[in-house]
Chains A and B, each alone.
Chain A
């Protein structure tokens, strides 16, 4: 089986596993305990926090560990809603459901919320925010890189615009981390979500990086861990793994992106020759991600066929793979329903090789031709 679904989750890097193992087996303290076991656990967590902070140019005190990107996004959105009761929440139309859903549920509680569209190339432009919205908006969430299309937003421009308009700015950088340089301080972002299992770290651990200028009301109450912002015994082995994953991925961004860029260019050329539509082709995209569709070929049939031949790819994001609805990202870009329904995503990773890409292209050619013939016969 060849794994081309690295935007859903990545494998665990052996170096990460090596650092985690002692914390799953021998060193067993509760970091809050006041004895040697507890203190060792506490020190290890603070070292991991530094690594995470360094990898995104933030201060360790700005890093709050959570259990997932979903939790980080819910924490910032609900935390702001509770601390600032007059908030008006804006979000781009291509956000992950774990940003858009909590904001939509705030609308039921009486908060003002606004979905802001992207253009046909998947880009968010501040100029598209209408005057009326701009006047009352207090919070904006725009993801740094999209999980489906791979489009990278102009975060510097958006952050600058939010500063000028006195708007709190949050970015979901889950897909960006490890693939492009993420600079929390440099970009002057108020809050940012990052996650471990997309950068060869373990599942079950993520962080919210938050500027202390933001007053945040905690999402969960309890023992008061993470400066009171996230109660619950720390998931120590996973935190150690996340720290290591951040450290190694930030050191390897250039090598990684050059490698996958090369592989992706081979893939995209072949897709072009086969007549596929590659979404957001003109936009600046993550070099590991290609989102494409064939006119007149059913996406789920092609997906199943490729799976049978040993290729693991995705139709949209893993989180919503269970529903057969077409990608909301594509629909909001104005892609027509048929084409959106057939969309497939290849997301390459550390272990991907040129041989795998060539095999994939060969298989894809065969399957596409076979399905085209079938369609022709049926028509």
Chain B
């Protein structure tokens, strides 16, 4: 998707945020203009119209993940959903125990919410995944303690796109009477989710990763068996007391429409995106010394994360200004630390530093992919020409064994 209006680079950063689908924007606009009511206003049609729209949207969220609309709680985004789920459930069930298990490769919103629980006296295990990014089930089992109250594992990883085995993990949680939370912000519209079958208690969703607007998300809270959470915001008692605050009708309508489109089109769309991913993978791995991060099979077609050895990460980003990609997750892109996710996979700092996340989506075209491959080939060649390390590697020097002189 080349944005000619602003002469913008080609957008290959769909995991950071997606464009709002024009159909979504169209649905939203009436709710910021004529149908502007407060859904909590009970005394006039402005309020009723807004409430009806909110409830229709709630049905759409439920339909995409095969849940009951009454199990969906609106929030301001996945960060709030994750905070509400983790702090809300661990707090409510704290009598069972004070141990929480999560993955070292979770999104910051999960990691930091768990850290906050630690500050409040909980203990936490941050499990290292296998080198392919997936959780080892046996290791997981042995991490469970009698006082484990909550497990939080993301369905699709934001940096490397790997899909965890939520069903198996959830069944183990059930056997051990542990509340199971899943961050599905990166999963909706990419993998099929059936909450009727999946043993998941709490699931976080975001709109702006699925062609909806920013500033709205949802939390699934299971009714059978009933899961309870302690609210994190108190006030007018909206959302059955679980989340107070005036509902942003137009945003909610946007999320509903985005999820409807996802439900109806994901199957066809994913086939197309899979082809683009294969093309991108083939083209980029023709470059020497490239390493794909994360499992290639258990992975969404929208993501490719590749380390280009013997290229300095920052110069690479500077060199490929014609495409908008990310090095590490957008939320932490501002920091120059190598990705904690890639480090958790056991990648060296050098390889983590020279990694690029390509994430593609609804508006990515064949020619976008072709342009990207050509650009990367050209720029990496140039950068390596300047690199003494590349020269040494080509001469057959084992860089691992080189003893570097101190400055």
Contacts and interface: CB of A to CB of B under 8 A. Distances in A.
A33 B8 CA distance: 14
Interface in B17-54: 17-20, 22, 25, 28-29, 32-34, 36-38, 40-47
B109 A232 contact: yes
Given A219-B232, A221-B115, A36 B32 contact: no
**Interface of B, helix, strand, loop or mixed by DSSP:** loop
Contacts of B249: 203
B215 A28 contact: no
A57 interface: no
Contacts of A231: 79, 108-109, 112
B3 A26 contact: yes
A177 B305 CA distance: 47
A56 interface: no
B13 A313 contact: no
B324 A36 contact: yes
15 contacts: A9-B41, A12-B33, A29-B324, A34-B327, A37-B9, A38-B333, A70-B246, A104-B234, A204-B251, A222-B107, A222-B112, A231-B79, A314-B41, A319-B236, A320-B237
A235 interface: yes
Contacts of A1: 44-46
B234 A314 contact: no
B334 interface: yes
Contacts of A318: 38, 40-42, 47, 246
A323 B321 CA distance: 56
A104 B234 CA distance: 9
Nearest to B115: A221
Contacts of A36: 8-9, 321, 324
B248 interface: yes
Contacts of B303: none
Interface in A1-39: 1, 3, 5, 8-12, 17, 20, 24-30, 32-38
B213 interface: yes
Query: B80, B317, B321: which has the most chain A beta carbons within 10 Å?
Result: B80
A223 B110 CA distance: 10
Contact of A5 (B41, B237, B246): B41
A20 B95 CA distance: 47
Nearest to B231: A105
Contacts of B75: 67
B238 A24 contact: no
Interface in A317-364: 317-323
Given A35-B326, A220-B232, 11 more contacts: A5-B38, A9-B36, A70-B246, A204-B216, A221-B83, A221-B113, A223-B329, A223-B331, A224-B332, A237-B213, A312-B43
A96 interface: yes
A141 interface: no
A70 to B, nearest CB: 4
Contacts of B80: 67, 220, 232
Contacts of A11: 33-34, 36
A74 to B, nearest CB: 4
Contacts of B33: 11-12, 17
Q: Enumerate the 9 nearest inter-chain pairs by beta-carbon distance, A residue then B residue, closest first.
A: A235-B215, A204-B248, A98-B235, A223-B331, A319-B236, A221-B112, A67-B76, A312-B44, A222-B109
